[in-house]
Amino acid sequence: MDFNSSLRIAATGLQAQTARMRVIAENIANADSAGKAPGDEPYRRRIPTFQTVFDNEVGGRVVEVGRMAYDMSDFTSRYEPGHPAADATGYVQYPNVNTLIETVDMREAQRSYEANLNVVTVTRQMLGRTLDILRG
């Protein structure tokens, strides 16, 4: 396993965390997306999944973003009789997105991204030292 494969493994980590950030952004953006009419399903929270895959080309175990799963937990409902999507009792179904959880997830993705970036930086430094040998 050479330095190039280290860099490529770290790059898959960066990609995976970027994809995760995108899903988190979707969730947060749609935190208030209720349906248009009574009975419509509001936005359902999505969860990114990661899986370890052995990449023959790289020669290492890289991370890949798997299926985007749906969070099947219950929707929240709020009493808003004036809302176009309110049912007969005046309740509106809202997405099962908890902004707090999404924020924490976002931080985690950020930290993980930074860690992978750090690996890239360190590997590049090591690569630079190898080339320094040529200078004698």
Partner 1 sequence: MGLMDMPVFSALTDKMRWHQTRQGLLAENVANAETPGYRGRDLKQFDSGTMSAFSSASLSTSATQPMHFSVSSGVGGFDAQRMANFEITPEGNGITLEEEMMKVTTNMMDYQAATSLYQKSVRILRVALGKNA
Binding residues for partner 1, rule: CB under 8 A, are: 1-3, 5-7, 9-10, 12-13, 16, 50-52, 59-63, 108, 111-112, 115-116, 118-119, 122-123, 125-126, 129-130, 132-133, 135-136
Complex with partner 1: residue 25 or 115, whichever CB lies closer: 115
Contact criterion met (CB below 8 Å) for 9 and 58: yes
Minimum distance between the CB of residue 131 and partner 1, rounded to whole angstroms? 10
Give the C-alpha separation, 84 to 76, whole Å.
17
> Vertex 80, ends 78 and 86: CA angle to 5°?
90
Give the C-alpha separation, 43 to 133, whole Å.
57
Complex with partner 1: residue 82 or 128, whichever CB lies closer: 128
